[in-house]
Chains A and B, each alone.
Chain A
Amino acid sequence: MSIELKNVTYTYSPGTSYQIHALKDINLEIPDGQFIGVIGHTGSGKSTLIQHFNALIQPTSGTVSYNGEDVWAEKYDRRKLRSEVGLVFQYPEHQLFESDVLSDVCFGPMNQGMTREQAEEEARKALHHVGFKEENFDKSPFELSGGQKKRVAIAGVLAMNPKILILDEPTAGLDPKGRDEILDQIAQLHKVRGITIVLVSHSMEDVAKYAQRLIVVNHGEIAFDDTPKKVFAHFREMEPMGLAAPQITYIMHALKEKGLDVDPSDTTVEEAKQDILEALKKINSPLLKGGVKND
Chain B
Amino acid sequence: MIRDITIGQYYPAKSPIHRMDPRTKLFGTLIFIISVFLFHSVAGYAVATLFLAGMIIISQVPVKFIFKGLKAIFMILMITMVFNILLTPGEVLWKIGIFKITREGISMAVRMAIRLVYLVIGSSLMTLTTTPNQLTDGLEKSLRPLNKIHIPVHEIAMMMSIALRFIPILLEETDKIMKAQIARGADFESGNLIQKVKNMVPLLVPLFISAFRRANDLAMAMEARCYHGGDNRTQMKPLHYTRRDHIAYVVLFVYLAVAIGFRVMGW
Q: Does B205 contact A (CB under 8 A)?
A: yes
Q: Does B183 contact A (CB under 8 A)?
A: yes
Nearest CB on B from A290, distance (A)? 64
Q: Does B107 contact A (CB under 8 A)?
A: no
Which residues of A sit under 8 angstroms from B12, Cβ to Cβ? 17
In Å, the complex CA distance between A107 and B187 comes to: 12
Q: Does B202 contact A (CB under 8 A)?
A: yes
Q: Does A86 contact B (CB under 8 A)?
A: yes
Could you mark each residue 177-196 of chain B with 1 if its beta carbon is under 8 Å from any beta carbon of chain A, else 0? 10111111111000000000
| Size class of the B contact interface (CB-based, 8 Å) | 20 to 34
Q: Would B184 and A156 count as touching, CB distance under 8 A? A: yes
Could you mark each residue 52-66 of chain A with 1 if its beta carbon is under 8 Å from any beta carbon of chain B, else 0? 001010000000000
Q: Does A282 contact B (CB under 8 A)?
A: no
Question: A17-B11, A108-B185 are contacts. A97–B180 as well, Cβ < 8 Å?
Answer: no
Q: Would A86 and B183 count as touching, CB distance under 8 A? A: yes
Q: Does B198 contact A (CB under 8 A)?
A: no
Q: Would A108 and B184 count as touching, CB distance under 8 A? A: yes
Selected interface stretch from A20-28, A88-96, A130-138: A88-96
Q: Would A54 and B183 count as touching, CB distance under 8 A? A: yes
Q: Would B187 and A111 count as touching, CB distance under 8 A? A: yes
Which residues of B sit under 8 angstroms from A82, Cβ to Cβ? 182-185
Considering the complex, give the chain A residue whose CB is closest to the CB of B204: A97
Q: Which listed residue (A13, A51, A95, A112) contacts B181, Cβ 8 A?
A: A95
Question: A89-B176, A97-B202 are contacts. A79–B187 as well, Cβ < 8 Å?
Answer: yes
Q: Does B201 contact A (CB under 8 A)?
A: yes
Q: Does B3 contact A (CB under 8 A)?
A: yes
Which residues of B sit under 8 angstroms from A94, Cβ to Cβ? 173, 176-177, 180, 206, 209-210
Could you mark each residue 143-164 of chain A with 1 if its beta carbon is under 8 Å from any beta carbon of chain B, else 0? 0000000000000110010000
Considering the complex, give the chain B residue whose CB is closest to the CB of A15: B64
Which residues of B sit under 8 angstroms from A157, Cβ to Cβ? 183-184
Nearest CB on A from B22, distance (A)? 21
Which residues of A sit under 8 angstroms from B201, Cβ to Cβ? 97
Additional pairs, 14, CB under 8 Å, beyond known A56-B182, A79-B187, A82-B185: A16-B65, A17-B12, A54-B183, A56-B179, A82-B182, A82-B184, A89-B180, A94-B176, A94-B177, A94-B206, A95-B177, A108-B184, A108-B185, A111-B186
